Amino acid sequence: MGTADRWLTVIALVSVPTVMVGGYTLMRLTAAGRLDAFQLALFRAGHAHAGVLLVLTLTALGIAARAGLSDPYTWVVGGLLAAGTISQSGGFFLHAAIGRPGAWSFGNTMTVGGAAALTAALLALAHGVATG
């Protein structure tokens, strides 16, 4: 495992408890009736995406390590994965805070940008594995 694989994996693993706290927060806000149906749906989507995308990140970093990708290449892939995960899941939370049902907000734009970053990361990883 290279330096990039090691540090990016540590960052992803340390991020997992933040998703766990998010689940607890979702449970508390739901029990207290503090979220309307629109906010609840988006909070759930943001929380689920964050957890799944962290698992994807850990899997992708394992693939990068096994493929023996260079540290600079792995930093690029890891950076795109981190930016994509934060943007995609964070966009749901932002839209819940500032958006309205049926209307576009910057939260939607963040979510789409996150999807683009994740796509770029996975295509770069696939390229690195195929040519590595």
Each residue's pLDDT tens digit, 34-73: 999 999 999 999 999 999 999 999 999 999 999 999 999 9
Percent of the chain with pLDDT over 90: 98
Q: Domain residue spans in the chain?
A: 3-131
132 pLDDT exceeds 90? no
Q: How confident is the model at residue 12 (pLDDT cuts 50, 70, 90)?
A: very high
Overall CATH class of domain 3-131: mainly alpha
pTM: 0.93
Q: How far apart are the C-alpha atoms of 30 and 82, rounded to whole Å?
A: 28
- How far does Cα 50 stand from its chain's mean position? 5
pLDDT of residue 70: 96
Helices 37-67/71-98 angle, 10° precision: 180
Q: How far apart are the C-alpha atoms of 92 and 43, rounded to whole Å?
A: 7
Q: What is the mean pLDDT of the chain?
A: 96
1 pLDDT exceeds 90? no
